[in-house]
Amino acid sequence: AQSVTQLGSHVSVSEGALVLLRCNYSSSVPPYLFWYVQYPNQGLQLLLKYTSAATLVKGINGFEAEFKKSETSFHLTKPSAHMSDAAEYFCAVSDNNDMRFGAGTRLTVKP
């Protein structure tokens, strides 16, 4: 069965610093991978997705993620954090039948 592990339930960065949120997956078939963001009191929104076209995926709000098959990773990065990036981020893996979510990483941005 496929699964996702997000390393670090809380990440805190200063405004302007690099954001790195870690995600490792397990899948028996070539996976589809997603990052969703959840702002306070809202539902999840798609940030970006990987569907095997290109290993470096660019998403909204300056975020990007790189698919590394050898490391089974799909880490999310942003060069410079903004206060508005404070939210919870979920990595998800999908095959043709099921989507599984990680436990989430709460990002705090300090002024």
Partner 1 sequence: NAGVTQTPKFRILKIGQSMTLQCTQDMNHNYMYWYRQDPGMGLKLIYYSVGAGITDKGEVPNGYNVSRSTTEDFPLRLELAAPSQTSVYFCASSYGRSGANVLTFGAGSRLTVL
Q: Which of 56, 83, 97, 111 binds partner 1 (CB under 8 A)?
A: 97
Of 55-63, 68-76, 79-87, 89-97, the segment contacting partner 1 by CB under 8 A is 89-97
With 0-12 CB in 10 A as exposed, 13-18 as middle and 19+ as buried, what is 41?
exposed
| Cα 111 from chain centre | 23
CB–CB of 21/78 below 8 Å?
Answer: no
For residues 16 to 55, the per-residue mask of contacts with partner 1, x marking binding by CB under 8 A and - elsewhere, is ----------------x-x-x----xxxxxx--x-x----
